[in-house]
Amino acid sequence: MTALVTAAIAGGGLAGCECARRLARAGVSVTLYEMKPQTYSPAHTSPDLAELVCSNSLRSDDIASGVGLLKQEMRELDSLVMQVAEATRVPAGKALAVDRELFARRMTEAMEAEPNISVVRREISSIHAPELAAADVAVVAAGPLASESLAASLAEVVGSRHLYFYDAIAPIIAAESIDTSIAFQGSRYDEGEGDYLNCPMNREEYEAFHAALLAAEKAPTHEFEKEVHFEGCMPIEALAERGERTLVFGPFKPVGFTDPRTGQRPYAIVQLRAENLNRTAYNLVGCQTKLKYGEQERVFRMIPGLANAEFVRHGSMHRNTYVNAPLVLADDLALRPHRHVHLAGQITGVEGYVESAACGLWLGMVLAARALGRNLPQPPVDTALGALLHHLRTPAKNFQPSNVNFGLMPELTQRAKKRDRKALYAERARASFATWLEGVPGLEK
């Protein structure tokens, strides 16, 4: 096996940064290629690395959830993303949310401070690019918004197994434009410190909003592209089309809240989550959309408390690119048709910020171990990281991106009540991960 001395990584997102840092700490000379600021994807606006383009939330920190468990495992593996997220955290109840601008800036500073990492602002437009071919190992961590040329090159390599889906992001509004005589601060069932602003809706207000959503004009999609939405990030108008009360049982669920104006539970509720430490901007939780910008302003201003909402960022929709991982990727995330190149992050078929970072972290660990003459065993499938990696190795008739969840793990071997099952999955995973970690000699951080 050729000695691993140099690595080229295309993409300075969460996965690329995690992978680069782990390799650099193992003594590998890493060149991290980032196409910004010369070229931007349809969703990116900042020149910083690791820009969060959808939500500023890394989701639940509860250990009895798949993503909370994965984050804890990442912390124990010395994840840079977890370290920076904690340092730039903003209040969000049980969720880990960050000041997205500060987060990206700190991630960029961390990459530029690593002596074994050179950040080069240049687009890699092909799997066969000379910059990738010249390194001992190449990693494509371009994310789900890979440039058209790079996506076309990847499609050429993997053939008809190259897939795509659409993703939607929610609007952000200025805090000072929210009517706080209507929107109230609080968390569901009064848990936590009331980190959300909540806009209560009565039945008449909700039905008018729902009707406006259905009638609103949507941004056009290219004729040659079929829309395939990831279930966890459906546009709100697509959810509304499923039925009049779909939102009431979904993102607008009112249980656990009391409207202080009426003393009663509202018919529906729209939650607003702080976007930054200063709370000058708020994200409309669950309101990801592909409505035209003017329609977004008209419809979302129908929400009580948002009549004068000032839009800091409109919602939008973009194509996400990923591969059929079980068919085209080896266990070390190398492309089967082109073993010199590895994939990392959402382009592999994991979904979400945390999952993408975890994928990049894992690949960095695998390649770092290889550089040190070692082999790194896969984590057990009953751990969060192991289950996520197993998803990428499990053939499916219709392979779809997936968040980490307990459904990816083996069933419990003991009978348990439904309310206890998540805690038992987490307990088993914690024990299994600890045993695996102790059994990996010389695991490099």
Confidence of residue 230 (pLDDT cuts 50, 70, 90): low
Kindly report whether the peptide bond that precedes residue 37 is cis, defined as omega within 30 degrees of 0: yes
Q: Helix, strand or coil for residue 177? A: helix
Domain spans of the chain, in order of start: 6-159+324-438, 171-314
> According to the model, what pLDDT value does residue 430 have?
98
- Of the candidates 302, 283, 284, the residue with the CA atom closest to the CA atom of residue 215: 302
Cα separation, 196 vs 187, whole angstroms? 6
Residue 77 annotated as lining a ligand binding site:
no
- Please provide the average confidence, as pLDDT, over all residues in the chain: 91
Mean predicted confidence (pLDDT) in 15-24? 98
Q: Does the pLDDT value for residue 335 go beyond 90?
A: yes
> According to the model, what pLDDT value does residue 226 have?
54
Q: Does the pLDDT value for residue 296 go beyond 50?
A: yes
Cα separation, 192 vs 256, whole angstroms? 13
Q: Does the pLDDT value for residue 181 go beyond 80?
A: yes
Mean predicted confidence (pLDDT) in 343-364? 96
Letter for the amino acid at 194? Answer: G
Residue 15 annotated as lining a ligand binding site:
yes
Of 228 and 319, the structure prediction assigns the larger pLDDT to 319
Q: Helix, strand or coil for residue 235? A: coil
Q: What percent of the chain has pLDDT over 90?
A: 74
Q: Which residues contact 302 (CB under 8 A, 6 or more apart)?
A: 205, 208, 209, 212
398-421 pLDDT per residue, tens? 788 888 999 899 989 888 887 888
Confidence of residue 132 (pLDDT cuts 50, 70, 90): very high
Cα separation, 236 vs 302, whole angstroms? 15
Letter for the amino acid at 76? Answer: E
230 half-sphere exposure, CB direction, 13 A CA radius: 27
Q: Which two tokens stand for residue 32?
A: 């991290």
Confidence of residue 444 (pLDDT cuts 50, 70, 90): very low
Residue 11 annotated as lining a ligand binding site:
yes
Q: Does the pLDDT value for residue 2 go beyond 60?
A: no
CATH classification of 6-159+324-438, choosing from 3.40.630.40, 3.50.50.60, 3.50.30.60, 3.40.50.2000? 3.50.50.60
Q: Does the pLDDT value for residue 443 go beyond 80?
A: no
Q: Which two tokens stand for residue 1?
A: 């096996």
> According to the model, what pLDDT value does residue 160 have?
61
Q: Which residues contact 130 (CB under 8 A, 6 or more apart)?
A: none
> According to the model, what pLDDT value does residue 42 have?
74
Residue 406's alpha-carbon distances to 267, 283, 385, in angstroms, are 31, 28, 11
Mean predicted confidence (pLDDT) in 382-411? 91
Mean predicted confidence (pLDDT) in 272-299? 92
CATH classification of 171-314, choosing from 3.40.50.1820, 3.20.20.70, 2.40.30.260, 3.40.50.720? 2.40.30.260
Range with the poorest average pLDDT among 37-41, 49-53, 112-116? 37-41
Kindly state the helix (H) or strand (E) to which residue 140 belongs, with its residue range: strand 137-140
Of 227 and 368, the structure prediction assigns the larger pLDDT to 368
Residue 407 annotated as lining a ligand binding site:
no
Residue 16 annotated as lining a ligand binding site:
yes
First to last CA, the chain: 23
409 half-sphere exposure, CB direction, 13 A CA radius: 27
Cα separation, 131 vs 100, whole angstroms? 30
Cα separation, 331 vs 73, whole angstroms? 20
Q: Measured in whole angstroms, how far is the alpha carbon of residue 339 from the centre of its chain?
A: 26
Q: What single string gives the DSSP state of each residue in 201-234? A: E-HHHHHHHHHHHHHSPBPP--TT----B-GGG-
Q: Does the pLDDT value for residue 286 go beyond 60?
A: yes
Q: How crowded is residue 390: how many other Cβ atoms within 10 Å of its Cβ?
A: 18
Neighbouring-strand partners of residue 174: 281
Residue 159 annotated as lining a ligand binding site:
no
Range with the poorest average pLDDT among 65-74, 88-97, 186-195, 275-284? 186-195
Neighbouring-strand partners of residue 322: 163
Phi, psi of 381 (to 5 degrees): -70, -15
